[in-house]
A and B are shown apart, each in its own frame.
Chain A
Amino acid sequence: MEKFEKHTGIVAPLNRANVDTDMIIPKQFLKSIKRTGFGQNLFDEWRYLDVGQPGQDCSQRPVNEEFVLNFPRYKGASVLLAQQNFGCGSSREHAPWAISEYGFRAVIAPSFADIFFNNSFKNGLLPIVLEQSVVDTLFAEVEAEEGYQLTVDLEAQQVISPSGNAYAFEIDPFRKHCLLNGLDDIGLTLQDADVIRDFEDKRRETAPWLFTELS
């Protein structure tokens, strides 16, 4: 997993609530058996004017010039500014895969859906919850100023605006540790293999019906 320490980048504003995972990456692209290749289909139904198919050369497709990510001023954006309940819907990890592969390193919103929030951390994508009033301020600022950038400092747990305003955010210490160090949590969990095995042995004794052989 790619480390996340401090990142500064252009902000793209996606000003609508309840952006669901079907919108982030439509289902026809979930047929892939790979972890990569989703970036070009991020927000596919909003980004292009035709119906996307897996394996297409997206550079040849008609682009929806009215969709915010297609505005020239947001080209190369790496911080996504969003609204309430971002990432609601399915558990598809293809959503953070697509967002990361497009080039975003952080998503800032007043709230996130739980599963999306959790999946993001597994992929080096930092979801940041800021108060609605702060998010509203950032939307106003990014829309007013071309080339607007934000700095996300994970160590300090701050989002810093061009005018120097610093907004603190909360993050679970374990997730912070994993992101800062780019750690794979399976390896960490397996350090507790003995504890897991003991637990399992006891459980097998007290609730044997949970260990029925399937066939």
Chain B
Amino acid sequence: MAGQTLYDKLWQDHLVKTREDGTALIYIDRQLLHEVTSPQAFEGLRLANRQPWRLNANLATVDHNVPTTDRDKGVAGIEDQVSKIQVTTLDENCDEFGIVEYKMQDVRQGIVHVIGPEQGATLPGMTVVCGDSHTSTHGAFACLAHGIGTSEVEHVLATQCLIQKKMKNMLVRIDGKLGAGVSGKDVVLAIIGKIGTAGGTGYAIEFGGQVMRDMSMEGRMTVCNMAIEAGARAGMVAVDDTTIEYFKGRPYSPTGETWDKAVESWKQLTSDDDAEFDTVVVLKGEDIKPQVSWGTSPEMVAAIDENVPVPAEQTDAVKREGYERALKYMDLQAGMPITDIKVDKVFIGSCTNSRIEDLRMAAEVAKGRKVADSVKQAMVVPGSGLVKQQAEAEGLDKIFVEAGFEWRDPGCSMCLAMNPDKLEPGEHCASTSNRNFEGRQGFGGRTHLVSPAMAAAAAVEGHFVDVRDIL
């Protein structure tokens, strides 16, 4: 019999019961909650007169609606009344049920997918869910982590379980080494460009190979974060020394003998050598160049030295029409060089790229340079209050401000523009976020997905450039 994949092991470890109809009850170790997808779940509990199954399994924070300026005013500083109600509703629900929440003025507040690992609330081998598709981020720590809808948020609150069917196994192996100036974001965009936004549908993806082994935890989180953009609900990376090192001294990490026991157990969280995957995709690290998305789907992506594609060259009719519609929306010419695309705004942040390493990579480019006059706004939004503190301790905030970037307070911000940070119609944005859908960053806005280093380079040049030429 073939060995088990990491996903097989995580599934087996959490299998409460296989039911007669073939579905499974899977135990959930951690649920993260935020203000957008939880109010209807709490309401459902109240209507059915149910209590949370295990309070301690839940951790909440506000991130989607919070403004990134004037935070000293607290909730009162939220000008949008509808947003304010959503934030106060989470506060009230957590107070009522007794769930730990990092509220707006808590230094630990931040984007759910940043604070979970940062606090050690996400630990290797856990099942982690959240009413947010980018929950796949936590798979970087060999967790089975995926987004769920609000009905399932309520289901997990009430039962600590999910009804699941097992997914298929996919291995995406990235061999070799990455070149300088190329990071996790470029890797995952290159993967999505190769397999498409539905390539991973129905699969749990394990990212492996030498490139993943050499990558920092921050980089691995960036890669797993966008597994969902490749269609896979869950992405994951096996445990190694980098994983274990990350959890030393985190607030909710185990200590003493329990730590030793935990580490011993975590070391099992790898795919067996003889494990079989349903699909294997292989990329070479040396081939991956800095990436820029040109269209309205994350699979519409090209390397910095390439051109915007010519729709007429597409043989598939649905794809050709999709390309034509995307170029029209983005106001780009077929065949134009990617480096000719000018940017109006720059956004460095989001659950994809707002961690300390991301900010360091952007600061390295911004240092001693100035945001181009043609760029209307360039902002840096750290992923949490603690990331912000760390960056300030390293002087990164000064580098950004001196270069002409705005240094903001933590939250989801312009990734999805539920707070005041948004694009105006027609504006092009170099963004370190995860989705370039129509209207995502503001009605009529045009998003180009890039790495933090590439976003900073676009900010100083006013158009996309190969960051490897600058560094």
Contacts and interface: CB of A to CB of B under 8 A. Distances in A.
Nearest to A92: B37
A210 B123 contact: yes
Interface in B145-204: 146-152, 154-155, 158-161, 163, 165, 197-198, 201-202
A192 B121 contact: no
Given A23-B438, A83-B318, A115 B25 contact: no
Interface in A58-86: 83-85
Interface string A176-212: 0100000001100110110110011001000111111
B131 interface: yes
Contact of B151 (A34, A93, A114): A93
B345 interface: no
A48 to B, nearest CB: 11
A90 B133 contact: yes
Residue among B23, B259, B325 facing the most chain A CB atoms (10 A cut-off): B23
A113 B29 contact: no
Contacts of B352: none
A173 interface: yes
B147 A91 contact: yes
Given A16-B321, A31-B83, A35-B40, A192 B56 contact: no
B82 A54 contact: yes
Interface in B56-95: 56, 59, 64-65, 80, 82-83, 85-86, 89
Contacts of A195: 16-17, 25
Interface residues of A, number: 62
A213 B56 contact: yes
B252 A212 contact: yes
A196 B15 CA distance: 10
A38 to B, nearest CB: 11
A144 interface: no
A23 B437 CA distance: 8
A193 to B, nearest CB: 8
Interface stretch (A4-12, A116-124, A146-154, A162-170): A116-124
B19 A174 contact: yes
A146 to B, nearest CB: 24
Residue among B21, B48, B161, B418 facing the most chain A CB atoms (10 A cut-off): B161
A17 interface: yes
Interface in B4-47: 16-17, 19, 21-23, 25, 27, 29, 36-37, 39-40, 43
A96 B152 CA distance: 14
A29 to B, nearest CB: 9
B337 interface: no
B54 A200 contact: yes
A209 B254 contact: yes
Contact of B149 (A22, A92, A111): A92
Interface string B418-448: 1000000000000000010111100100000
B321 A18 contact: no
A175 to B, nearest CB: 8
B158 to A, nearest CB: 5
Contacts of B252: 212, 214
Contacts of A122: 149, 151-152
Contact of A214 (B22, B100, B197): B100
B401 interface: no
A174 B123 CA distance: 32
Contact of B36 (A30, A177, A196): A30
Nearest 3 A/B pairs, CB to CB? A93-B149, A91-B147, A119-B149
5 contacts: A17-B318, A88-B297, A189-B155, A192-B16, A212-B252
Given A18-B198, A196-B25, 13 more contacts: A93-B149, A111-B201, A112-B201, A115-B228, A122-B149, A172-B22, A186-B48, A189-B159, A190-B159, A199-B27, A212-B254, A214-B56, A215-B100
